[in-house]
Structure 1
Amino acid sequence: MTAMGTREALVCAAENLMRSKGYAAFSYADLVDTVGIKKASIHHHFPTKEDLGVAIVEAYIDRVRIDFERIEQLHQDLEGRLKAFFLAFSASSEGGLLPLCGALAAEMAALPVGLQRLTHHFFDLQLKWLTKIFDVGVVNGEIPAVPGTRQKAFQLLSALEGASFINWALKDGETLDWSFVRLVAGLAK
């Protein structure tokens, strides 16, 4: 494995562990088993677990930003953008995994300060983007302005995150459906 390949494999494996076990519950020993390298090699790439956690969340945020840009390019209307967001969010919870920053938020008090800041930043990023697309929907007459667009964004993200935790705990495969998203957004008629 190349150095970059090893680093990417560690980030990928650790992300899955964080999303299935939580930040506090996984260790470099788990990565030794999963990636198949020595603990010293892991420390070479990520001297501390916080360094690894920060790399994971920063990479995740970058992927989400790219997804937001792609959604805006591919969909001009609010419904199309929300549907793409909903599908991407739903896909992120497949395979028994929690959304990454939701999993981190559940452990917020136990996280190192750097990860707390990144978790906060990620939720803020999502809320700002959802608020922005709701604002455009109001301007375009696609949805009413009441309640405010920030409140709609908060309600939608809260419902999706909450549903992912309930589904994860029950492991019954039940999730929110698109009609709920339409209702929260004010698209349901």
Structure 2
Amino acid sequence: MNNNKNTAELILDTAQRLVQEVGFNGFSYAHIAEKVGIRTASIHYHFPNKEDLGEALIARYQREFVIKVDQIDNETQDNLEKIRRYINIFSIPVDTYCTCLSVMLSSDLATLTEKVREKLAAFFTANLEWLERVLEQGRSEGQLRFEGSAQTQAHKILTSLQGAQLLARTFRDANRFNLIGEGVISAFT
């Protein structure tokens, strides 16, 4: 049983890297099988179809996100620092000129199943709700300054970071992400 879990995780790890490199529609189970060194039947055992794989990928991605922002919340009460650490989460794939899973899945949105689209929307909702809470708390505690609603600012942050990933990937220049990340931080001081 433990071996099955390890195989499923290895499949998910490989599929996530492929999505981040070529998009959800840019690979098949044969690509995963080749990279993992298993038969496609083994992949179908864990994920009967690509929709199941997509749902599992985004569900795992959201669980990891919740863990990361909980860790941020537990490690600091400084809301500007929370936003810095949130930006750092988005900077991780930039070093390999990839984008996060959610950005790549969004680019394939028209071809994703309704279940995968719903899970993707839930992931973005979790991001926006966390950001809104941090922004509201930061403004009420005097740590953050901004005009307008926290909801609008949260959307600006999320879209800025996603766009920054795309620019860094397109130009193969991580500094473009850093430039935008710094701009996000300076907007609240």
Task: Output the TM-score relative to the length of structure 1.
Answer: 0.93
Cα shift at 1:170: 2.0
- Please tell me whether residue 15 in structure 1 is matched to residue 53 in structure 2: no
Amino acid paired to 1:10: I
Q: Does the CA contact (< 8 Å) of 1:160 and 1:176 recur in 2? A: no
Amino acid paired to 1:180: G
Aligned pairs for 1:1-189 within 5 A: 2-144=3-145, 146-174=147-175, 175-177=177-179, 178-184=181-187, 186-187=188-189
Cα shift at 1:79: 1.3
Unaligned runs of 5+ in 2: none
Cα shift at 1:119: 1.0
* Deviations, residues 38-89 of structure 1 (Å, cap 9, x unaligned): 0111111110011011111101100000111100010101111111111121
Unaligned runs of 5+ in 1: none
SS in 2 for 1:72: helix
Amino acid paired to 1:182: I
Q: Does the CA contact (< 8 Å) of 2:29 and 2:43 recur in 1? A: yes
SS in 1 for 2:27: coil
Amino acid paired to 2:88: L
C-alpha RMSD of the superposition? 1.4
* Deviations, residues 94-138 of structure 1 (Å, cap 9, x unaligned): 312211111111111111111111111111110110000000001
Counterpart CA distance in 1 for 2:185 and 2:46 is 44
Counterpart CA distance in 2 for 1:160 and 1:145 is 18
Task: Output the TM-score relative to the length of structure 2.
Answer: 0.93
> Which of the pair is proportionally richer in helix?
2
Q: Does the CA contact (< 8 Å) of 2:95 and 2:174 recur in 1? A: no
Q: Does the CA contact (< 8 Å) of 1:10 and 1:35 recur in 2? A: yes
Q: Does the CA contact (< 8 Å) of 1:29 and 1:39 recur in 2? A: yes
Q: Does the CA contact (< 8 Å) of 1:19 and 1:99 recur in 2? A: yes
Aligned length: 186
Counterpart CA distance in 1 for 2:91 and 2:173 is 15
Q: Does the CA contact (< 8 Å) of 2:94 and 2:165 recur in 1? A: yes
Of all paired residues, the percent bearing the same amino acid is: 27
Pick which of 159-168 and 138-147 moved more: 138-147
Counterpart CA distance in 2 for 1:5 and 1:103 is 25
Counterpart CA distance in 2 for 1:33 and 1:170 is 30
Q: Does the CA contact (< 8 Å) of 2:19 and 2:101 recur in 1? A: yes
